Amino acid sequence: MAKQFFKVHNTQSNGTDLFRKMIYIDGMEVTFQITNTSLLQVYGHCNLEHRNLVTPPVTKPWNGAVMWAMRVGIRGPKPSPSWSAPSSLPPPTWITGAKMGANILNRAQHYATGEFQAAKVLTKAGYYRIELWGRSASTLSNLDGLIQVLRSKSPKDPANQMIVLVDDYP
């Protein structure tokens, strides 16, 4: 099998709001096929920002933390490449160790960059789909959805990306 390379971007003009419950991050998915044992590698980043839903807004002094977290999930194998929309399905199987997160702690940290990576040996032939999911929570209030994936200013210059490499193993 030839090495496979995929690069996708979240180009949503309205961003993806992250809530307490894990949610699929729009546009961050890749479907591929393998015919023999393969090594999957996933990496990328999402730029995040606080949505200013609390009083006082983040532009003024505040005490508290807003947590963000992301996980890389996998679906498959299956015999065909057709899948339902991620938002209509339960969360995928999480790739072990492929989770990351941190806190936005103060005004100076209004933005954050969430880097992610995953690796997995796939032994069964078929079609797979990789998906990126995220969530947020806060000590500031009972409001939900306080962090969003940063909106891309232009599809030609997206703020977020996911790269997937698939190669024979070993």
- State which residues form the domain around 116: 4-168
Compute the average pLDDT of residues 109-138: 93
Q: What is the pLDDT of residue 99?
A: 93
Reported pTM: 0.88
Taking only the tens place, the pLDDT of each residue in 21-70 is 999 998 899 999 999 999 999 999 998 887 766 555 545 555 667 889 99
Phi, psi of 109 (to 5 degrees): -105, 40
pLDDT at 164: 98
3-class secondary structure, 87: helix
Q: Cα separation of 141 and 14, whole Å?
A: 23
Q: How many domains does the chain have?
A: 1
**SS3 state of residue 109:** helix
Q: What is the 3-state secondary structure (H, E, C) of 148-166?
A: EECCCCCCCCCCCEEEEEE
pLDDT classification of 18: cutoffs 50, 70, 90: confident
Distances from the Cα of 162 to the Cα of 35, 43, 53, 59, 165, angstroms: 23, 6, 28, 30, 10
Higher pLDDT, 1 or 161: 161
- With pLDDT > 90 as the criterion, what percentage of the chain qualifies? 50
Helices (H), the chain: none
CATH number of 39's domain: 2.60.120
Q: Are 15 and 9 in contact (CB under 8 A)?
A: no
Nearest to 29 by CA among 48, 14, 16, 38: 16
| Nearest residue to 7 via CA among 40, 29, 35 | 29
Residue 156 reports pLDDT greater than 80: no
Q: How far is Cα 79 from Cα 77, in angstroms, rounded to an integer?
A: 7
pLDDT tens for 72-89 read 999 999 999 999 988 888
Question: Would you say 87 and 141 are in contact if contact means Cβ atoms under 8 Å apart?
Answer: no
Task: Return the amino acid letter for 84.
Answer: S
